[in-house]
Copies of this chain bind each other. A is one copy, B any other.
Amino acid sequence: MHPLKTRQPYPRNQWWAAAYSSEVGRELLGRTILGERIILYRTERGEPVILSGLCPHRAFPLEKGCLSGDRVRCGYHGFAFSASGTLEEVPSQTAIPAKADLRRYPVAERGGVVWIWTGSEALADETLLPDMAALGPGSPAWATEQHRLATIAARYTLLIDNLLDLSHASFIHADTIPGGNFVAGLPVDLVETPESLNVRRKGNGLPPNPFFKLMFPDHAGPLDQSFDAEYFGPHLIRTGGALYDSANGALLGTQNYLHLITPETPSSLHYFVITSRDFATGNPALGQTHMDMGLRIQPQDKAAIEAIELVLQGLDSPPREVSARCDTGALKVRHRLETQIRAEECPA
């Protein structure tokens, strides 16, 4: 599926953000992830649970049912399942049919996010989870904000493309990102490791602006600002980065924008954004400013990639693509993603 050249649209042996921790509680939450309907809730002890979302009896969506203790009861004919997915009760009889269990997905909670493993349970490995604390969320040394979850009617790869080519900041976000108009003109530096691929830009000697002032009230002169776009996998991209005193190169702090991307269907995605910083952590006005900016920036990206999705769906064949040099990172990311998917399509 354009822009990937693979049969499957996404990898399955992968952790994905399923929900913010605050969304998951003692009510059933229904969601579609990678084309599969799931339900999320917490046990009475507070542990997150993710089960398949359709009753195996007559395919009724389980989120329309209810929780009874740790059990999920279907809202149609009352079949009840334990938190491990086992069918435990059929109201009209005492015997329990075989092979009627729900799939229980491997689940983990990190950095205020409930993560789901969508692939083979045998391969679920918590060491593959992103190190959220290192990026801010969950670490006491950082302040973080969770932005409103957006569900976007576009294939998830369009959002990856979007984030890996930050030159768009100078056009789509010219009025919403302070300093964004500098980005397209900055040289690009590519840092590749097995863990990530970082498309780095640095704006040197950027003149003071009100946003810088809010971040660093004690600093008066120009700043050197990082515009990283670091791909850890299709589930997580970090933008932003370190800020320095232009006068002496001293590190002032790090401002991360964490983009958690989860395919909903082949042509839609869930988009979780978390901002985090290791400076001015006690300043609620700065956090509020990030939330306000997010409300203006995110709809611009949503509108852009939804417009492209509509274009693609109207085409009989994939569009031609002319790439610029600053697309190199995005193209390498596509290649990484294709390699990951192909390894699942045709295991060695």
Contacts and interface: CB of A to CB of B under 8 A. Distances in A.
B312 A59 contact: yes
Interface in A14-73: 35, 37, 54, 56-61, 64, 73
A95 interface: yes
Given A61-B311, A184-B77, A311-B61, A97 B322 contact: yes
Interface stretch (A85-93, A217-225, A285-293): A85-93
B170 A58 contact: no
A21 to B, nearest CB: 27
B92 A319 contact: no
Given A59-B308, A59-B311, A95 B167 contact: no
A77 B171 contact: yes
A307 interface: yes
Q: How many copies does the complex hold?
A: 3
Contacts of A57: 321-324
B97 A304 contact: no
A165 B57 CA distance: 12
B170 A324 contact: no
A99 interface: yes
A278 interface: no
B311 A37 contact: yes
A324 B92 contact: yes
Given A76-B168, A78-B184, A170-B78, A97 B323 contact: yes
Given A56-B321, A57-B323, A75-B171, A92 B37 contact: no
A54 B311 contact: yes
Interface in A295-348: 304, 307-308, 311-312, 314, 319-326
* CB-CB nearest 10 A-B residue pairs: A91-B184, A92-B326, A100-B322, A59-B319, A56-B322, A92-B167, A78-B171, A97-B322, A90-B324, A59-B311
Given A61-B311, A97-B324, 5 more contacts: A35-B314, A78-B170, A91-B171, A91-B184, A92-B184
